[in-house]
Amino acid sequence: MSEEMEIRVNFGKPMPVFPLAHVALMPHAVLPMHIFEPRYRRMVADALDGAGQIALAVFEGEGWRAEYEGRPAIRSAVCVGQIVQHQKMPDGRYDIALHGVCRGRVIEELPEDEARPYRMALLEPVGVAEFDETELAGYRERFADLLTTAPLSDLKRAARVVEHLKNDQFPTTAIMELVTVSILHDSEARYYPELHYSLLAEGDPVRRAALIERELGSLNTLLTRAASQRRSDAPRGCSWN
C-alpha cells in the first residue's frame, strides 16, 4: 500500500463534490486550487472542520455551461482529494493544495439543501482492493523499454519514472499512477478528456496498465513522426538544437 493510500477515507459518510469541466486530479498528484466562488469557499471551510477531503468530479457533456449555477449532471468517477495545505484570504477566498488519495464512484447524490450551497454524494471505493503485483510484471518491463528508448526517454519527466522502475520496492501500481500524472496527464489534459477520464474511472490495475501501455505507444509514435517531420523540413546547414 502506498503512503498516500494510508490516508483514511470514510466511504460511509457523504463527501463534498466539486465538479469541473475535465479530470483535474489523479491519485498521487497534487493540485493547487484557488477557491473564490461562495459555495466552494463554504465547501472548503466545512471540509477543513472535518476530514479535509473533497471529491473532484467531472461534468457530463457540455450542457453544464448553461446550468453551471445549478446542479449540472456529473460523471460517476471521482478522485478523492485531501487538503494538505490551505491559506484563507481576508475576503474569504482560499488557496489550497489538494492531494489525490484514491478513486471513487458516485452512487447517490444527496438532495439539495438550502443550508448547504454545495453538492454532497455518497461514494464507493474503486481500485483499492489487495492486488497481486506479479500480474503486472510484463507491463513493468515494457514501460521500462518504452521510457528508456528515444523519443520517450527524451521527455523531461521520463528519467524520474525510470528511476522508480529500477527500484523493486516501488510497486508497479504506484508507477502506473506516476506515469499517468507526470507523462499522460499534464497541463493539456483538457484536450484529451476521454483518455484521462478512462484512466480515472478504471479501477482494475491490469486493464489500466494496458490502457497506459497503449497510450505510451501512441505518444511514442506521435513523437517519432514529429521528429521525422522536423528533420525533413530543416534547411540544409541548419540545426534544430
* End position of a domain, from candidates 84, 110, 126: 126
pLDDT score at 229: 77
Q: Do residue 15 and residue 75 come from a single domain?
A: yes
Q: Do residue 229 and residue 138 come from a single domain?
A: yes
pLDDT score at 5: 43
Measured in residues, the chain has a length of 241
pLDDT at 8 exceeding the cut of 80: yes
Q: Answer for the pair 46, 83: CB distance below 8 angstroms, yes or no.
A: no
pLDDT band at 234 (very low <50, low <70, confident <90, very high): low
Q: Answer for the pair 108, 121: CB distance below 8 angstroms, yes or no.
A: yes
- Cα separations (Å) of 222 from 146, 152, 218, 226, 228? 13, 10, 6, 6, 10
For the chain, how big is the Rg over CA atoms in Å?
20
What mean pLDDT is reported for the chain? 89
* End position of a domain, from candidates 100, 126, 152: 126
Which residue in this structure is represented by grid cell 497481486?
A: 132
Mean pLDDT of 177-185: 88
Domain count, the chain: 2
pLDDT score at 140: 96
In a domain, 241, yes or no: no
pLDDT band at 235 (very low <50, low <70, confident <90, very high): low
Which domain, by its residues, includes 80? 9-126
In a domain, 2, yes or no: no
Q: Do residue 85 and residue 115 come from a single domain?
A: yes
For the purposes of burial, counting CB atoms within 10 Å of the CB of 183, is it exposed (0-12), middle (13-18) or buried (19 or more)? buried
pLDDT score at 228: 79
Q: Do residue 116 and residue 194 come from a single domain?
A: no
Mean pLDDT of 221-229: 85
Q: Do residue 138 and residue 118 come from a single domain?
A: no
